[in-house]
Structure 1
Amino acid sequence: MIFEKIKSFLQVNEVEFEVFHHEPTLTSEDSAKVRGEELKTGGKALLLKIDKGFKLFVLAADKKLNSKKIKKNFKVKSIRFSTKEELYTLTQLVSGSVPPFGKPILDFELFVDNSICKNEVICFNAGSLEDSIRMKVRDYIKVAKPNEIFDFSNS
């Protein structure tokens, strides 16, 4: 189970975090509400297909992804979101439950938007629609080890 894998990963890395068990949430707005947090603290993880592979992108939940910025950064003409079927096949997760971690949690390169770094904390659904984790952004960046941090959201 991804939730247990994340908790274990954070404990091994000696990172402080809080766990929330709550009613199932399907949107970033609902998740923020049940956690009692501002929407901007949510880490929205999106799996995108770029060229022949998939990459994981994380941005603040109050932001929208800017595909032009991603295309420019990767020097590609097209990108697309994974389908629900692809997401499940690749992760065994449903939309809204994808945590903001690449390797070793999920087998993808990880890219983090600058919007995440503007917050003190990050909150995210951790492999289920009912389990969330809250932790400091500096600890998240330290253990998640993104391949790159750049601006790929709309203000």
Structure 2
Amino acid sequence: MPLQKLRNFLDEQGVRYVLIVHSPAYTAQEIAASAHIPGKKLAKTVMAKVDGKMSMFVLPATYQLDLSKCKAEMNAKEVELASEEEFKYLFPECEIGAMPPFGNLYGLPVYACKELAENDEIAFNAGNHRELIKLPFADFQRLVNPMIIDITKEM
């Protein structure tokens, strides 16, 4: 979803958001530093396969996805990180690794960690490595309806 399509969607839904432009950055920690956003409020998107089905996980930049916790919380037989090759085709209009956490718009289940849900607002990649969108977590939750579960460990 290119930035304009995402912005149009948010505008149609009546969401107030801020667009943040920053110097190119590729890791969640670099992005948080470049955009002057606390790592706990920067939502990173991690793609994983749950029993072979591609799924989107959203967590703070300062956390890692804990595959063992995912497996237990989701009653899954297998949870494994997906490679970029396995998911890049799902987001053809986004730069690899910069997809926004709106998996529901791509037909993907979305899981958010409980730590992210503790924030009043979050910021996330807007489809590229130079722009973020910041909005209230409550609006993200309303639009995406992620399952909120305990799936992380601190880095």
1:58-88 CA-to-partner distances (Å, cap 9, x unmatched) read 0111111111111112222322111111121
> In the alignment, which residue of structure 1 is the partner of 2:107?
107
Residue 98, structure 1, aligned to residue 99, structure 2: yes
> In the alignment, which residue of structure 2 is the partner of 1:31?
31
> In the alignment, which residue of structure 2 is the partner of 1:72?
72
| Partner Cα separation in structure 1 for residue 34 and residue 97 of structure 2 | 14
Residue 151, structure 1, aligned to residue 150, structure 2: yes
Residue 15, structure 1, aligned to residue 15, structure 2: yes
Moved over 4 A (4+): none
Structure 2 gaps, min length 5: none
| Partner Cα separation in structure 1 for residue 21 and residue 60 of structure 2 | 21
After alignment, is 77-86 or 63-72 more displaced? 77-86
**Residues 19, 131 of structure 1: 8 Å contact kept:** yes
1:15-39 CA-to-partner distances (Å, cap 9, x unmatched) read 1000022221111111111211111
**Residues 73, 150 of structure 2: 8 Å contact kept:** no
**Residues 48, 54 of structure 1: 8 Å contact kept:** yes
The Cα RMSD (Å) is: 1.5
- Provide TM-score, normalisation by structure 2: 0.91
**Residues 21, 35 of structure 2: 8 Å contact kept:** no
- Provide TM-score, normalisation by structure 1: 0.91
| Partner Cα separation in structure 1 for residue 107 and residue 23 of structure 2 | 28
Letter paired with 1:151: D
| Partner Cα separation in structure 2 for residue 81 and residue 126 of structure 1 | 22
**Residues 87, 94 of structure 1: 8 Å contact kept:** no
Could you say what secondary structure the match of 2:103 adopts? coil
Matched pairs, number: 153
| Partner Cα separation in structure 1 for residue 152 and residue 108 of structure 2 | 20
**Residues 42, 61 of structure 2: 8 Å contact kept:** yes
> In the alignment, which residue of structure 1 is the partner of 2:89?
89
Structure 1 gaps, min length 5: none
